[in-house]
Each structure stands twice: as C-alpha cells, then as structure tokens.
C-alpha cells in the first residue's frame, strides 16, 4: 500500500476511534451492542412460532470464508460444487469449541446447497474408541445437523493412503528414517538455524520401499523407523522440514480394523489426501493448522489425484471461552481422575454436559453465530455464552414455582383441609405464548427463607413482621406472628390472607413485593443441583497446573427443595424457569418420577449485560474512591493511572489473563498490554478488533 493509502487508512481509523470515544463518554458503548442483541432476542419469536433447529430460517452472517466461496462460485473453480467436511478424531467427546466448526462447515454447505461430510480421523488406535464415535454422531444430530449418507472413516482409506506413500517413495520424495524422536527433533534445527539431513536421508528408493513394506508387515517395533517426506530442511516453516508421514503402532487394536495394520498415517498425511479422495472443495480448520497448510498443498501437488483442482485449506479462529479448558487431554484428565462425574458432567464444556445441564441446540448455534468467524484467535467471555442460553430459554420455557430453602407459613384465616386450585399462566404477558396450569393453594405453604426478614434492611420489599406481600398467582398475605425454636431460629410464620385480592391489587393498600410459594401439602420434594463455573481462574490453561484452579463451589446439591406438583409427570430433560430463581432442567440421567432431580442451567440475572452497563459507574467509583475527602486532615496520595489499571486487573482475573496473553501470544509490549487491559471497555473493544483483524500490533 502506498503512503497515500496508508494515510487514508490512518485517517479512517482516527475517525472510528474518535466516534467510539464519544459513545463511551455518552455512556452508549457498549450498551448499543447489548441493546442490539436484546432486540434480536425480543424479535426472535414475534411470529409466535418456535424457531426450528436449522439454519434455513436465517442466512449466516457474512465472513471471509463466505466471501471466498462466493468468489469460487463466481469463477466456477469447482464447477459450482461446495463440499465441506467435519473431521473429528474419536478420542473424546465433542466440546463447545467444536460447535463453531460444526455450525460453520454444515451451515455453509446447507446455505450453498452443497454437502458436508462427517469423517472420523481415526488414525491413532491407542486413544480412539467406538464410544466416542457414537457420542460425536449423537451430538451432531442433537445440534440439528445431518450428514445423510456422507459418513466416512479415514481407516477405510488405509490401503489407498499406503499406495500414496509408496508413490512418494518411488518419486524419491519420501524416505524411511531410523532416527529416534529426540534425534529427529534435534536434526530439524530451530527458527534460527537450518535443519541437518538425517544420515538415512540418502537411502535409495529400493531400500526405502523394502523398509516401508517391512514396517507394514510388522517386522519392526514402535519407534524403530518412521516414514518422512523429503522436502526442505532450510524452510522457515518448521513443519516443512521433512515432516513425518507414517509411524509404527504395534500392540494396539484399532476399533474398526483390529490388528490388520501396525503402521498408521500421521494427521498431515491422511488429512489432505482423505479430502482429495472424497472430493472436498473447502477444507476448513482452525488457526493452529495454519502452518500445516504448506504440507497440505505439497502433498496434493506431488501425488496423482483424481480431483482437479485439489481441495483448498482455509483457517479460521478457534472458539475459546474464559473459565473453560478445551484440551481433550485435559478434559480426559478431569474425567479419569474423577474431578467431574464424567464426560457429560453439566460443568464440563462438552456438548453432552451442556445438553444435560439444559442448554438447547438453538442457544449453542446462536452463540456460534454471535461469536462469528474471524482470522485472529481471541477469548470470548463466559457471560456471552450465558446470555445466548438465557436469551433462548426466555422465549421457550414455561414458568413454575419452586422453593429452594423452605420456610413454613400457616395462613390462619384459610379454612383447614380446604384446597383452592388457582389458574397460573406458564408465560408472562410479554412472551407470545399461551398456556396455564392449576396450582393448589392451601392453609400451609412454603416460601423462601430469605423472602422473610425479621429486621428488614433498607429497600427490602418482601415479607416482614406486620407487613404484606403478594403471593404469585394468589393472594396478599400479612405476617402476624413469628414462631422460633429453643435456639432462637425462625421455624414458622403465621399470616392472614385477604380473599378479595386474588389476581388484583388490594384497595387502598400499596403492596410492593411479590414472592413465589408452594403448597406444603401438595409440593413435591426435589433435588436441585446448582452449577457454577468449574474453574475459578478466567484462563486456567495459561497456568502451570490447571487443576489448581478447580472451583470448590462449582456444585451445590439441595435436597430440601419443594416444587409445585404440575411437573411431576413430565419427562426427563424438561426445561422450566423456576420463578425468580433461574432456568432449570430435569436431569436426563438421574431424574425419575420417584426422585426428581433438576439442574440449574443458568441464573435469571443477565450478569453479562449488567456487568457491561455497570462499567462506567464502576470506573467512576474507583477513581472517586482514590480522591481524598474534603474533611480529611491529611491528603492521601492520589493513585496514578497505571496503579488504577493494575488494581482493576488484580480484581478481575480475566483482564489479568489477557494482560499476560497479549504479551506472550500476541507479541505486544508490557506497556501496550497494560493500556489495553487497564480498562474494561478498551479491553472489550480490542477483543472485538482482534475478531476482525489479524494484526494485533496495528
């Protein structure tokens, strides 16, 4: 770009920053973004129809991959074909990071009228299992996608892949190396020095063919020999310095091929050639495979293929979420060491765990769409995921009443033995859905213990001695007496009710509060599991031992809760909003009509939006707190801006994690990282910029 172009670009950037500063000063940033998302949620079901689990109702947002496919279709590069694939290795359960890749590959194929293959990259018999295959298939179906008849396994191509390897040897483009793993690493060199040729690099074609066949026939043990490509030991891309193509894996039975094979292709070799065998046009993968693209192209250019032009690899940013670990190895460690109940533990970031917790496939797809497709890695806030889940559940789940910490209330003027069935709506007036249930009202009920306060604090609007409160869907009650036990604990309240106040405000009295309740006689005892974040550190992966940051309060089990009886016959997996408490789902594993178990999916409070809206106030309060009081005799020293930024990071582990990541991964100076993580809005803006621009320093 010429100097004039750079000047224009800089001028536009200055205007954008100036506009954002004006928005921030006016308090409208980032509320504008949040308001847009809220409006999206409000309009989501305005047609009074539940949105189907497909992407056909709304086109995906434009991104650089769509632009590339549009151009390929325009030029006729693949004769109008769009064939994508999702190639998981069956060595663990899918996690939420995979949902982005699934939604992208399947969604693009669907949008362009193409097909998406499901191909299991099963080339490591030591860690793969049919259990993982079945779980992956189940998760993809649950998310709303279908591969139809396009189900493939790399293990089905072992014979053809072996022939491709022989072809490379015959062209003197591959050789059998007898160095061990450590020696290969040493001979490969470093970023500052070229690699050295292995002493076995000069083997003849005949020697290599003989040795490679002997490897296949099981004549050698693991590690004795490997097959390597013969490319360029001086390449600045370390991946191109004679990469491994095949290794020996004896003593392992493949879950599909048994002991038929004892050599297995490496990912870089099998991946691109499997794409070519299947006629894939657009091979989409995450950014960690960016340096592997040269191997991908080199291999396709040096073997005889039946597809022209060959597939093309394109990388996009992977999905990383604060307070989660996404490494399959670490997730497996959590399971095997029993830090969690299994792969489907509702605290796990696995699709199975999120399904059990009560997340909907629509909410995960909405989240992937909200995150978007970018060229630079970034970390998405956990609250953003919660927002997507809450926003989806708000419009689809019925409301019921559940008391988690019961306090008995006796309504003394309600006749003993009498029961009144009240009609209670399942949905609030602003949700375009209808339906109601019958809720029994009796002389004895339960309310939440914290909905009563004997000595109320300022602003408390619930039940107090001598005070009134409205019972949801029922009457106004007044507390007349407080019953305590021998140790001065409140065990019961005595109240009266006003029979003229059912469904309407009492005349001449102003009742501010409304609380939920359950009939003591008809309520159903339930076990309620309240889940929180599995880790207390925003970036557990960034530390030496991620297990040190396991949150000891990630699960609370409540066995004293009481639920209204309307849900007792509903099947496992039923979702509800427990009024005033949050969104809950009956556990699909442990819940039964005889023993109901509910998992909290997400709390009612929109912590993400509220946190964003509170930022300007928090910043002002923090600065104000550093100012001395006029009445103070000694004027304290005012904190510098650098000290304020450091204090903010010390109170916010996510900002601290970004501060470290910007230096280690993005190559920013300490001063740059300090400025970018010393203000929540600046940090949020920079993360948004990273999502669309792949040059962090600029």
DSSP assignment, residue 540?
A: G
Beta carbons within 8 Å of 74's beta carbon, 6+ residues apart: none
Q: Which of 24, 38, 66, 89 is catalytic?
A: 89
Q: Tens digit of pLDDT for each residue in 478-506?
A: 999 999 999 999 999 999 999 999 977 77
The CA-based angle 278-279-282, given to 5 degrees, is: 115
Please give the Cα distance from 61 to 42 (Å, whole number): 19
Whether residue 328 lies in the annotated active site: yes
Please report, for residues 167, 348, 446, the alpha-carbon distance to residue 128 in angstroms, rounded to integers and kept in the order given: 28, 20, 51
Pairing of strands 597-603, 582-586: antiparallel
Neighbours of 391 (CB within 10 A): 23
Residue 602 near residue 583 (C-beta atoms within 8 A): yes
Q: Are 493 and 445 in contact (CB under 8 A)?
A: no
**What's the burial of 326, exposed, middle or buried (CB within 10 Å: 0-12/13-18/19+)?**
middle
The CA-atom distances, in angstroms, between 377 and each of 366, 423, 689 are: 19, 51, 11
pLDDT at 305: 84
Helix axes 130-143, 361-371, angle to 10 degrees: 80
Q: What's the confidence (pLDDT) of residue 344?
A: 97
Out of 44, 188, 328, 396, which one is annotated catalytic?
328
From the candidates 85, 241, 318, 356, give the one annotated as an active-site residue. 318
DSSP label of 452: B
DSSP 1-31: --HHHHHHHHHHHHHHHHHHHHHHHHT-TTH
Residue pair 246/85 in contact (Cβ under 8 Å)? The answer is no
Q: What number of CA atoms fall less than 13 Å from residue 282's CA on the CB side?
A: 33
pLDDT of residue 669: 76
What is the pLDDT at residue 25?
41
Closest C-alpha among 312, 260, 284 to residue 125: 260
Closest CA to 363 of 330, 312, 397, 331: 397
Backbone conformation region of residue 435, classed left if phi is above 0, alpha if psi is from -120 to 50, else beta: left
pLDDT tens-place string over residues 22-69: 444 444 444 444 444 444 444 433 333 333 333 334 555 678 999 999
Rounded CA gap, 340 and 349, in Å?
Answer: 12
203 classed as catalytic? no
pTM of the model: 0.78
Q: Which pLDDT value is given to residue 632?
A: 39
Three-state secondary-structure class, residue 54:
coil
* β-strand pairing of 490-498 with 476-484: antiparallel
Report pLDDT for 13: 54
Instruction: With a cut of 50, list the residues of the chain below it in pLDDT.
Output: 1, 21-57, 608-609, 611-612, 618-636
Give the dihedral sign, CA 642/647/648/649: positive
Rounded CA-CA distance 618/605 in Å is 18
d(CA 249, CA 160): 19
Q: How distant is the alpha carbon of residue 407 from its chain centre?
A: 37
Instruction: Provide the pLDDT for residue 193.
Output: 93
């Amino acid at each position: 770009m010429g100097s004039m172009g750079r000047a224009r670009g800089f001028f536009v950037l200055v205007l954008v920053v100036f506009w954002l500063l004006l928005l921030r000063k006016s308090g409208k940033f980032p509320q504008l973004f949040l308001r847009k998302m809220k409006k999206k949620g409000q309009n989501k079901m305005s047609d009074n129809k539940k949105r189907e689990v497909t992407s056909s109702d709304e086109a995906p947002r434009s991104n650089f991959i769509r632009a590339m496919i549009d151009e390929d279709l325009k030029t006729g590069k693949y004769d109008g074909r769009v064939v994508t694939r999702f190639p998981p290795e069956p060595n663990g359960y899918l996690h939420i990071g995979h949902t982005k890749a699934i939604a992208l590959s399947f969604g693009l194929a669907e949008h362009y009228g193409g097909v998406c293959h499901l191909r299991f990259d099963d080339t490591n018999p030591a860690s793969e299992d049919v259990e993982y295959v079945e779980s992956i298939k189940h998760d993809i179906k649950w998310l709303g996608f279908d591969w139809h008849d396009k189900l493939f396994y790399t293990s089905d191509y072992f014979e053809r892949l072996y022939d491709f390897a022989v072809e490379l040897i015959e062209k003197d483009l591959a050789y059998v190396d007898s160095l061990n793993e450590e020696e290969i690493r040493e001979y490969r060199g470093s970023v500052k020095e070229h690699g050295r040729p292995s002493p076995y690099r000069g083997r003849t074609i005949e020697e290599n063919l003989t040795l490679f066949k002997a490897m296949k026939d099981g004549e050698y043990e693991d590690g004795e020999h490997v097959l390597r490509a013969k490319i360029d030991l001086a390449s600045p891309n370390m991946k191109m310095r004679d990469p491994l193509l095949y290794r020996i894996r004896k003593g392992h039975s493949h879950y599909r091929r048994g002991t038929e094979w004892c050599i297995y292709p490496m990912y870089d070799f099998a991946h691109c050639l499997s794409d070519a065998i299947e006629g894939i046009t657009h091979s989409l993968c995450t950014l960690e495979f960016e340096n592997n693209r040269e191997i991908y192209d080199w291999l396709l250019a040096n073997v005889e293929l039946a597809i022209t032009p060959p597939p093309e690899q394109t990388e996009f940013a992977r999905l990383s979420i604060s307070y989660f670990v996404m490494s399959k190895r670490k997730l497996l460690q959590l399971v095997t060491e029993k830090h969690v109940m299994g792969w489907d533990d509702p605290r796990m970031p696995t699709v199975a765990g999120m399904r059990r917790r009560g997340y909907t496939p629509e909410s995960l797809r909405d989240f992937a769409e909200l995150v978007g497709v970018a060229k630079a890695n970034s970390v998405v806030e956990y609250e953003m995921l919660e927002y997507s889940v809450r926003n989806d559940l708000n419009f689809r789940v019925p409301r019921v009443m559940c008391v988690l910490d019961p306090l008995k209330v006796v309504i003394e003027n309600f006749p003993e033995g009498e029961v009144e069935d009240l009609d209670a709506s399942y949905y609030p007036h602003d949700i375009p859905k209808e339906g109601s249930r019958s809720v029994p009202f009796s002389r004895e009920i339960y309310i939440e213990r914290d909905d009563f306060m004997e000595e109320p604090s300022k602003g408390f609007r619930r039940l107090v001695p001598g005070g009134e409160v409205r019972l949801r869907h029922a009457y106004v009650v007044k507390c007349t007496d407080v019953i305590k036990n021998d140790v001065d604990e409140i065990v019961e309240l005595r109240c009266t009710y006003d029979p003229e106040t059912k469904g309407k405000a009492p005349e001449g009295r102003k009742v501010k509060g409304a609380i939920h309740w359950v009939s003591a006689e008809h309520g159903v005892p339930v076990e309620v599991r309240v889940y929180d974040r599995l880790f207390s550190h925003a970036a557990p992966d960034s530390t030496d031992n991620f297990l040190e940051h396991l949150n000891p309060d990630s699960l609370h089990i409540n066995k004293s809760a009481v639920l209204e009886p309307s849900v007792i016959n509903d099947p496992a997996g039923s979702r509800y909003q427990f009024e005033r408490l949050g969104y809950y789902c009956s556990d699909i594993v442990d819940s039964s009509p005889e023993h109901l178990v509910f998992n909290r999916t997400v709390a009612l409070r929109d912590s993400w939006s509220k946190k964003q809206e509170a930022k300007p106030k928090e910043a002002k309060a923090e600065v104000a707190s550093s100012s001395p009081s006029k009445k103070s005799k000694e004027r304290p020293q005012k904190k510098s801006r650098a000290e304020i930024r450091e204090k903010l990071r010390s109170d916010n582990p996510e900002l601290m994690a970004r501060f470290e990541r910007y230096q280690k991964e993005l190559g920013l100076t300490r001063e740059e990282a300090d400025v970018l993580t010393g203000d929540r809005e600046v940090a949020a803006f920079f993360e948004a910029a990273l999502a669309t621009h792949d040059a962090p320093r600029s």
